[in-house]
Amino acid sequence: MTSVTTCLGIDIGGSGIKGAIVDCESGALLSDRYRLETPSPATPVRIGRALRQMIRELNWDGPVGCTFPAVIDRGVALTAANVHKSCRRADLRKAFSDATGCRFTLLNDADAAGVGESRFGVAKGRTGLVVLLTFGTGIGSAMISDGRLVANTEFGHLYTEHGLAEHFVSNKARKEEKLPWREFARRVSAYLRYLSQAFNPDLFIIGGGVSDPGRAPLWMPHLKVPTPVECATLANNAGLIGAAYVALSGLECEGRVRPF
């Protein structure tokens, strides 16, 4: 079932695929969130089959906004860190559209979350430069400059004095090194100051599991950063909401800079 303001948003991750029908005027979910395990190996064909199952379960026949954990350029995945290597250089937009019969718009997962938070979340109405960072297995990033998405920033892959940023300050690093929350806050502070010096943002948004209401109070009050820092408010739905909004708006910001 479709309308002029609804779109199916899908968020493809390394372990799970989540989908829900989104009201793109309000950002609200109009259906329960449906989840499938990401197939293993996560090849384009296997992912396409999973997407077809999800679309059937949700009784959907309209446009689809879809995130993918990779650098995306016009629907083509240029990287494949947490999925099968056959996804690299594959035209996933075409593959998923062919597999499901629906028109897909594809964008990087952190970029989609950034759009969601800027349109409907904590950064709604903000001007200036907003940087969203998701701390998980790695570090995802999105840069929004005066309402324009600068896609595929990959700030987790920047090199700092401690090496690759996401090897030092991701949630995976926190768990593997059994870091106390105050030490994690110290590392995040150093990383955010590094980004502040390079880009001078007006706001940092923190997403990922470490921003959950039960965890954020354990470390965020200990941050020492000159730039304001706030938690993402759309939680794990930010990516699918942002992807749905981009798809329904026809903005085609799949790897390019486009206003929203």
Greater pLDDT, 1 or 126: 126
Residue 145, pLDDT above cutoff 60: yes
Residue 208: the pLDDT is 87
The neighbour count for residue 12, using CB atoms within 10 Å, is 28
Over residues 110-144, the pLDDT tens digits come to 999 999 999 999 999 999 999 999 998 889 999 99
Residues 157 and 124: their CA atoms lie apart, in Å, by 27
Whether the Cβ atoms of residue 125 and residue 110 lie closer than 8 Å to each other: no
Q: Which CATH architecture has domain 122-233?
A: 2-Layer Sandwich (3.30)
Tokens of 125: 């109405």
Handedness of CA 113, 12, 210, 81 (dihedral sign): negative
At 158-213, the pLDDT tens digits run: 999 999 999 999 999 999 999 999 999 999 999 999 999 999 999 999 998 899 89
Equal CATH topology for 6-109+239-250 and 122-233: yes
Per domain, the residue ranges of the chain are: 6-109+239-250, 122-233
CATH classification code of 6-109+239-250: 3.30.420.40
